[in-house]
Amino acid sequence: MATIYSNIVSVTVQGQTTQFSATLSPQSDTITLGNSVTLTCTVSGGVAPYIYSWYIDGVDVGEYGSSYVYTPSTSGTHTVYVYVVDSQNNSTNSNSSTVIVNEPSVSYSVSVSASPSSNIQASADVTFTVIVSASDGSIPTGSATLYIDHASGTIWWTGSLTLSNGQASVTLQPGMYLQNGESYMTYYAIYQGFQSPVEEITFQTTVDPTSISLSTSLSGTTFTPGQDVTFYVSSNGSNYSCVLYAWAGKNTGTPSNAWGSWNIAIGDNGSGQITLDPSQVATANSGYCTWQVFGPNSIVSNSITLQEESTQITQISFCGKSTGYQGDVEFVATTNAGGSGTLYLAAYNYNPSTNTIGSLIWGPEPWLDITNGSGSVTLVPGVVAENTAWIAYNSSVKSNYVYVTGASSSKPGTISPTC
């Protein structure tokens, strides 16, 4: 039987021409505590891209670039290496680099404190204060760095604080020092490589309410003009923030159509309060305003409708004074407590020699607005004639007269009574 041979096929198997390796430089360096050294990792072989993990004294420091600016926090000898993984999941360790850190000629003592530091409400600001002292008695200058860490030890916030007479402070709002869901966090400061002790701040635990009730400082549902009103919130939750909304009229609505809103911090006892001044309480809707509290998880309180008591003006006291500008005169009206409304002004001819009031020469004009019992209006010399008697009034009551004599375009003359 004959033997038949096929053609010959050559297969060349190429190996990796370059060994996968990582080189860290410099291999060694000596610095003074407070200074930095830049370390660079160079990779040969493997398949890019690469993932770098930096280790200092055997601990992963959470740096992932090909270079790292290392600022030691303690003196002594520190060992650095890099663990590198390529895109094919091949891995290698770099050589080790030795960083020798010498103590500076001057050492520093660093301390940091927080106020408040314990049982902090979630809505409270916290002030951190750093104090630095030098071993040679000099006053430290420059900046200290404040660190705030998660309970796990990873950095949450860091900031530079400029020292003045060896100390510096910063006040942080909750979102800058508090990670939601954590009951405590730690903080410390570093100056020129010297670190303070690690301190701890603790927070109150938030309990979301399932019911909220609203009440006021009023004995009923009416308030007088000019009266402050305190709103009280009570609930079965603690350490959360709710919002007090107000609507004009007798009906509630949605937060989007409320005419006012105010945040209220609820403490660990489940209660909170806020006092509003008359300008915040009063409305222009027939004197009625309705209030309600919105809490977490769509919990809503009862609603309260308040009414502003109207106070009729029954008495008007009227006077005038020079404004100090050319011949301008400011007329001032004061009514019985709480009176509000608009007064008319009118001017009559006046004969000072006979003390008699003549014919109407100006007005009436509704130019004097009264709010919470008083109001004023300033008139220019062209309106304030030489010898005039002025009066303010509404539909039911008139004021006394204010006499202006000897007025001119450059001076207000004599005014009686004077404010």
Q: Tens digit of pLDDT for each residue in 79-135?
A: 999 999 999 999 999 999 999 998 878 889 999 999 999 878 767 889 999 999 999
Helix (H, G, I), strand (E, B) or coil at 219: coil
pLDDT tier for residue 14 given thresholds of 50, 70 and 90: very low
More confident residue, 326 or 354: 354
pLDDT in tens, 245-288: 999 888 888 898 898 899 998 887 899 999 998 778 866 445 67
- The most confident of the ranges 210-219, 356-365, 394-403, 404-413 is 210-219
4: pLDDT confidence band, cut at 50, 70 and 90? low
Q: What angle do CA 90, 93, 99 make, to 5 degrees?
A: 155
Burial of 209 (0-12, 13-18, 19+ CB in 10 A): buried
Per DSSP, the three-state class of 255 is helix
Q: What is the pLDDT of residue 408?
A: 72
Burial label for 259, CB within 10 Å (0-12, 13-18, 19+), is middle
Average pLDDT of the residues in 345-352 = 92
Cβ contact 226:278 at 8 Å: yes
What is the spatial distance between Cα 358 and Cα 350, in angstroms, rounded to a whole number?
Answer: 6
If phi over 0 gives left and psi between -120 and 50 gives alpha, with beta otherwise, what is residue 11?
beta
Low-confidence winner among 40-44, 285-289, 347-351, 410-414 (lowest mean pLDDT): 285-289
Which pLDDT value is given to residue 194?
A: 94
The answer to whether the CB of 111 falls within 8 A of the CB of 196 is yes
Smallest CA-to-CA distance from 218 within 307, 337, 338 is with 307
What 176-181 contacts at long range (C-beta under 8 Å, 24+ apart), as own/partner pairs, is 176/148, 177/126, 177/128, 177/148, 177/201, 178/120, 178/122, 178/203, 179/150
Mean predicted lDDT score pLDDT of the chain: 87
Spatial CA neighbour of 306 closest among 277, 281, 284: 281
pLDDT at residue 51, as a whole number: 95
Distance (Å, rounded) from C-alpha 160 to C-alpha 143?
A: 6
Closest CA to 195 of 229, 138, 147, 234: 147
Instruction: Give the residue, 194 or 2, on which the prediction is more confident.
Output: 194
pLDDT at position 310: 62
Cβ atoms of 219 and 249 within 8 Å: the answer is no
Q: What is the pLDDT of residue 159?
A: 93
Contact (CB, 8 A) for 401 and 387: no
Residue 67 and residue 107 in contact, taking contact as beta carbons nearer than 8 Å: no
Task: Single out the residue of 132, 129, 126 nearest to residue 190, CA to CA.
Answer: 132
Which residue, among 157, 61, 64, 171, has the nearest Cα to 114 in the 3D structure? 171
- The rounded percent of the chain whose pLDDT value lies above 90 is 53
> In sequence order, what DSSP letters do the residues of 278-295 get, joined into one string?
HHHH--SSTTEEEEEEE-
Distance CA 328, CA 387 (A): 14
- The C-alpha atoms of residue 397 and residue 395 are separated, in whole angstroms, by 6
- The tokens of 304 are what? 């309260």
Domains within the chain, CATH numbers bracketed: 21-102 (2.60.40.10), 108-202 (2.60.40.1930), 212-308 (2.20.130.20), 316-416 (2.60.40)
Residue 369 has pLDDT above 90, yes or no: no
Per-residue tokens: 181: 């869901």
